[in-house]
Amino acid sequence: MAETIDSGVKILEVTKITPFTNAISEFSLPLTYFDTYWLKFPPVERLFFYEITDQQLTIDLFNSVILPKLNHSLSLTLLPYLPLAGNLMWPEDAPEPAIYYFENDGVSVTFAESNADFNILSGNGIRGALDLHPLTPQLSISDDKAAVIAIQVTLFPNQGFCIGISTHHAVLDGKSSTMFMKSWAYVCKQLANEESPDLLPEFTPCFDRSLIKDPEGLNVVYANHWLQTFPDSDSSPNRRSLKILPFPKPNSNLVRATFELTREGIKKLRNKVLSLIDKNEGRQAKELHLSTYVLTSAYVYVCLVKAKAEESNTGHGTEVKASDFMEENGVALVAEKLSDLINGLKGGVIEGSEDKIKTLMRAFNLGLTFLSVAGSNRFDVYWSDFGWGKPKKVEIVSIERTGAFSMAESRDGGGGGVEIGIVLQKPQMEVFAASFVDGLK
């Protein structure tokens, strides 16, 4: 029997998709220090909206054509992506958590139907942040076991459908999760020509952990940190618990909107930053890394701090006073800070890494405002075409819990622009929108 939940969404079925004709009964994959660092962070939740206008999208067409293709192609794609069908676990006799796959493991997939307005949910305008929650699959996470991914496919009759995917942050980063989506989309689209299409080389994952060197033993350091952060106690008897940190839950006061930064706007920002740096202090011999990613991040951070009227320090790998963001050269200052952080990576990603979690937890405990970004303008999320055209819209739902903003390439692809997702309280959103427009004049 269908279950009705918020926003007119009916759950039609919950099933498990297993890897296609898998001959492997057991499999394990250790995490690296790149992964263990994110062990306690919330899942990353993305929505891919697909509009279908060239045919009447009925429940019968959805059930007889679209779902079978999505299911079969997912099963085929999970075979080369086998760890995604498993679970993250941390046995008592293991010094670090790892991914374990056992026979008959698979991915939880929810099929649903919604009578909500597809165009509003997939649009750029201001709408309630909670409106996207019924489209977002819940990742199963307990003390003992955490799923790697969960998927939900929601039909909007005669409008389109939405694929929601939740991924564990310690297993998949933005690059690898979008690579999986593009792999699944490629296989699904190729089913029109082949029964079992092979992945292209650029979509084929590599799980060779020997390629990642860890001479300082950071993976153990990070694992031990999580053990020390959550020691045995009555409230948390299992210090190897895989439950996430207590990030604030989103509330009904939050709204979501999408902003676009064009190629011309990015060029204008670059010239403005260079002019301000020359005017105030000169570039000296410093090498500035003013990529589209850096310029977009710096500009959005300044608009966010103005919108929130922050009076405290903010954190993004470095601490900066909020008042500095308000200055005329605020964007230039933040761009320089981000450039310095990126240039610091050239000495090696391991240098100073041992204290990263301690610094992060200190900022978390002090209540500092985190400035962070989810996604990138180089992930090509709009290339995930399952055979019914590229997405009308891609959203990262989980930014409302972490305070990050989302970044993606513009849907037109070759335009060189950037799409920015923001979640704020409505009065703050109005200030952000005004600052975003005014700063580009």
Residues assigned a catalytic role: 169, 385
Q: Is 220 left (phi over 0), alpha (psi -120 to 50) or beta?
A: alpha
Residue 342 CB contacts under 8 Å (≥ 6 apart), including other chains: 289, 294
Looking at 294-438, which runs of residues are DSSP E strands?
Answer: 313-315, 319-321, 369-370, 373-376, 393-396, 405-409, 418-425
3-state secondary structure of 261: strand
Q: Which amino acid is at 131?
A: D
Residue 94 CB contacts under 8 Å (≥ 6 apart), including other chains: none
Q: Give the ranges where 14-83 is alpha helix by DSSP (H).
A: 33-36, 59-61, 67-78
Q: How far is CA 409 from CA 127, 229, 304, in A?
A: 21, 37, 20
Phi, psi for residue 210 in degrees, rounded to 5: -65, -15
> For residues 131 and 133, what is the distance between their CA atoms, to the nearest angstrom?
6
Q: How far is CA 219 from CA 19, 98, 179, 212, in A?
A: 29, 11, 24, 11
> For residues 22 and 233, what is the distance between their CA atoms, to the nearest angstrom?
41
Strand partners, 320: 314
Contact present, 16 and 106 (Cβ < 8 Å): yes
Contact present, 407 and 420 (Cβ < 8 Å): yes
Contact present, 407 and 374 (Cβ < 8 Å): yes
Spatial strand order in the sheet of 254-261: 127-128, 254-261, 418-425, 405-409, 373-376
Contact present, 331 and 273 (Cβ < 8 Å): yes
Closest CA to 358 of 222, 242, 215, 248: 222
CB neighbourhood size of 217 (10 A): 12
